[in-house]
Structure formats: structure tokens, C-alpha cells
Amino acid sequence: MEHILSILIFFPAFAAAIGFMVDKNAIRTYGIIVSAVEFALSCFVWYSFDSSIAGMQFGEYIPVITSYGISYNLGMDGISLVLVIMTTFMTMISLIGLTEKRDLKNLIVTVLFLEMTMIGVFLVLDAMIFYVFWELSLVPMLYIIGAWGGKLRVYASIKFFLYTFFGSLIMLVGMLYLGYVYFQTTGTWSFSILDWNMLMLPYNMQLWLFVAFFMGFAIKVPMVPFHTWLPYAHGQAPTIGSVILAAVLLKMGTYGFIRFSLPLFPDAAVAFMIPMAILAIIAIIYTAMVAYAQEDIKQVIAYSSVSHMGVIILGIFALNVEGIGGSIFLMISHGIVSGALFMLVGVIYDRKHTKMMSEFGGLARVMPMYAVVFGIMLMASVGLPLTIGFVGEFLSLLGFFAVSPVLTAIAGLTIILGAVYMLVLYKKTFFGPVTNPANEKLKDIKGREIAALVPLVMLVVYLGVYPKPILEPVNKSVKQLVQVMYLKAVTPEAKAKIASVNTIGEIK
């Protein structure tokens, strides 16, 4: 187990490099086998993980630039564990369900390189190495959208890159300054997040640093008003690009808030609690209304994704065990459900080469199995009880209820609005007569499509009924996070606020 995390990070990249030498007729099978081995490795780590320990496990430490305290420092707690599992699982599923046929070798190699960068983000504990993986993740996704996307793929990929790169540069300035503050405080350089967690920063400094980190994470989520790159990216990306973007890449932003912003700047987190909640609620309601106005099925799901990410932000800034734990569960839920929905859109696009609702109607009669799977994912998306979508939304809203019952009630509109636009989509697409005679010949899902979608359906039901496998490893780490926030808060008002919303979590 000494280097298991390094193996998890670099095995996909090593396999991708070998993939260039694999025959093009065997590359799909090769990619699936590599991603399955990576998923098996992550499951082995999960099996070896001790859920009773709140801190980091399987740690690795190698000095890189000793004069400035930059090191290759890895660790995994319950939060990063579940996100790594989701990353490896969704990468494997996306490759199983891959519909793209053009230049397949380069696409699969690119996806495997992307998997390396995403896992690196969730496991690295040094801010500079974290930033390297964070920025490297832009390159494969830029290539996936730009090379395999739709007619506006170049515009969409450049917009995606510029937005996220600009926000990351501001975050980098904050990281460099925080490393300098650590040097001024202790006399030694360090960019270790664990070392930074011991700093007691002045209130005003926390505010400015919170804003710097906010720019990097908020654009990645994306939060309103930085969300405009996402519908273009989803709309133009190939199916596998949309699946990975929704399932994993967006979660890097919310993970950043949890790993950096909350423990490093607890007073600022309390100060920005209500403004962040207001931005989240605007995203929840505004993008839900925009989703309702769409005629393109993929755009409905893209705007729905922004709306649900708003609920995750709300849970994070509840600053209590229920809210943060619920937001992490909702990250997993959103990754599985939105990934499945984008995959389902890819299935119909592969047959009809259109995503417009007006081109369909009566699909439930022509493609009954497809309609059933889509319906299950739709119900999970709107948070139907006993599906995976309900647990995370309920806990996130429950957590924020301790902060503001009024804002929580407004945020609860996400369930109603989500049901409206998703049911309208389902009605127009699947019910009624078959409006287009050409659709009578459409083939139902089969083979690898079933192999990719059935595991997602099983998870949606299983984790909706029994969420313990996700919540158990997460809760210990979340409680420790809240404890760190409480102990590090420098103002009495922040301490009182964190304590008042954590009466159930018993942090004191």
C-alpha cells in the first residue's frame, strides 16, 4: 500500500502512452480494460480504507523543491475516497458506452490522460502540485471538445479554456501569497494544505484570500454569473466529453471549496455564507427556468446541471456536518445521474443525429427499455424518494435549514422546478403518438449501451435506499473539517455561528 495512490494517479497515463502502440481495431477493448483495472484498484483502496479514521490515509511524501517547501504529497480521506471511486467508475462506464467512431485511438488515449489529472486533483495535498493537476485537466477536455465536438466546437472549447484558466490564475496568486504568509509566520516555506490548516489568519486577509480562491472554484462549478461556458461546452462536446465534464470535472470546483476555502478561511466562509447562498439560489431558480425554455434535450440537462450544482454549494456553505456531508453525497449523485442522462442523450443522437424535442414523440412505444431507463434517471434527477437524488438534496437542504429556514424554503423550489422541466421533456419526447414516421424504425438500447446504463440504474436505486456506503467514510472527515473550522476561527462571531449550526454534529 506504500505507493498505491501514485499507482492510482499515473496508471491511466502510463496505459495511455502504451495505447498509442495498440492496434486501432483493439483500442476500444484496451481502453475499457485499462479503466476497469483502474476502477478495481480504487475499489481495493476503498476496501483497505479505515472509515473510523478521520485524517489522511495512504500518505506519500517526496520533496520536489525543498527551498520553497514544494513536495509531492499525497493523502486520502473519506471525502477524496468517494470522489476517486466516482471518477474511476464513471470513466469506465463512459468508455463502455462510447459511441464516437472517428479517430477513436486518440480519443481514448485523451480520456485516460484526463483520468490521471482528475484523480491527481483529489489526492494531492500540496497546493502547487494540486495546481499543476488542476490546470493539466483543462488540456485533454479542451482537445476532446475541440476535436470531436459539434459545429461550434472551437468556440466552445476556447471559451471553456479561457474562463477556467483565468479563474485559476487568480487562485494561483492566492496560493503563492498564502505560501509567503506561512513563511512569514513560521520561517519556513510550505505549500502543504495540512501545514496551512494550522495557520490562524487575520480576518481581513481571509476575506481577500477567500475571494481569490473563489474565482478558481466558482468558475469551475460553475456558479452564476460564471456559468455561461458550460451550456456551450456540453452542447458541443461529444457524449463522452459531456459525461466526464458533468460527472467529475465540475466536482473539482466544489471539492476545492471543501478542501481549501472552508478550513483555511473559516471566518470568511461565515462572512460569505449568505452571499454564497444567494448566488446558489439564483443559480437554482434562474437556470431551472432557462432549462424549461430549451428545445434541445442536451441543453435542458446542461442547465439542469447548473441548477443542481447550486444545491451542492448551498449544502457546503451550511457549514455543518449535515450540509457538507449532504453536498458530498449530492456530488456523487449528480455525477451518476447527470452522466447517465448525457449518455442517454448520446444514445438517441447516435441514431437520429438530432437532440431537438420536436423531432421525437412517442419514443416509449418504439424504445420501451430506453424510456424506462430515462424515466428512472429523470426521477433521480428531480429527487424522488428512494432514489440517489433524494438523499443528497435532503441533507443539503436540511443542513442549510439550520442557517436560514426562509432561504432553504426558496431553495426547495429546485425540486418543483426540476420536476416541471424534466417531466415536460419526458412528455414531449416519450409520450403521445409517434410524430415522425422515421422514428418507427429506431432500435432500442442493446449490447454495450445496456452494459453501461444498467450499473448506473442499479446504483441510483441501491444508494437511494441504502446511502451508508457513501455517507460512512465521508462523515468522519466532515466532522474533522468542521472541528478545524471551529478551532481556527479568529472572531467570536464566526465561532458562535459555526457552533450554532452544528448542534447535531456535536463539534465542541
Give the C-alpha separation, 234 to 232, whole Å: 6
Strand partners, 268: none
Give the C-alpha separation, 113 to 495, whole Å: 43
Task: Determine the pLDDT at residue 433.
Answer: 84
Nearest alpha carbon to residue 34 among 61, 15, 58: 15
Place of cell 470546483: 253
Does the residue 319 lie in any domain? yes
Does the residue 371 lie in any domain? yes
Respond yes or no on whether the N-terminal peptide bond of residue 225 is cis (omega within 30° of 0): yes
Amino acid in the structure at residue 153? R
User: What residue ranges of the chain have pLDDT lower than 70?
Assistant: 503-508
Give the C-alpha separation, 324 to 481, whole Å: 9
CB 411 within 8 A of CB 287: no
Does the residue 138 lie in any domain? no
Instruction: Give the count of beta carbons closer than 10 Å to the beta carbon of residue 188.
Output: 10
Instruction: Give the count of beta carbons closer than 10 Å to the beta carbon of residue 435.
Output: 12
- Grid coordinates representing 363? 419514443
Quote the domain boundaries for residue 366: 272-465
Task: Determine the pLDDT at residue 351.
Answer: 87
The DSSP annotation for 388-448 comes to: HHHHHHHHHHHHHHTT-HHHHHHHTHHHHHHHHHHHHHHHHHHSSS--SGGGGGPPPP-TH
Instruction: Report residue 304: phi and psi, to 5°.
Output: -60, -35
Does the residue 308 lie in any domain? yes
- Collapse the DSSP code of 508 into the 3-class scheme (helix H, G, I; strand E, B; otherwise coil) and give the result: coil
- Grid coordinates representing 183? 513563511
Instruction: Give the count of beta carbons closer than 10 Å to the beta carbon of residue 476.
Output: 18
Task: Determine the pLDDT at residue 145.
Answer: 92
Strand partners, 356: 296
Q: In 99-138, which positions are buried (b, 16+ CB within 10 angstroms) versus exposed (e)?
A: bbeeebbbbbbbbbbbbbbbbbbbbbbbbbbbbebbebbb
Does the residue 199 lie in any domain? no
Spell out the long-range contacts of 175-179 with Cβ–Cβ below 8 A and sequence spacing 24 or more: 175/127, 175/128, 175/131, 177/209, 177/212, 178/127, 178/209, 178/264, 179/68, 179/69, 179/127, 179/128
Give the C-alpha separation, 145 to 149, whole Å: 5
Does the residue 292 lie in any domain? yes
Question: What does DSSP assign to residue 228?
Answer: T
| Continuous segment of H or E residues that includes residue 44 | helix 27-48
**What stretches of 176-244 adopt beta strand conformation (E)?**
none
CB 77 within 8 A of CB 54: yes
The DSSP annotation for 47-67 comes to: HH--TT--S-EEEEEEEEEGG
Q: What is the dihedral of CA 372, 375, 381, 382, to 10 degrees?
A: -140
Give the C-alpha separation, 260 to 267, whole Å: 13
Give the C-alpha separation, 323 to 314, whole Å: 8
- Grid coordinates representing 317? 456553505
Q: What is the pTM of this model?
A: 0.94
Does the residue 385 lie in any domain? yes
Task: Determine the pLDDT at residue 505.
Answer: 46
Spell out the long-range contacts of 376-379 with Cβ–Cβ below 8 A and sequence spacing 24 or more: 376/457, 376/460, 376/461, 377/337, 377/340, 377/341, 377/344, 377/456, 377/457, 377/460, 378/341, 378/422, 378/423, 378/425, 378/426
Does the residue 94 lie in any domain? no
Number of domains in the chain: 1
Give the C-alpha separation, 36 to 399, whole Å: 36
* Sign (positive or negative) of CA dihedral 145, 146, 147, 152: positive
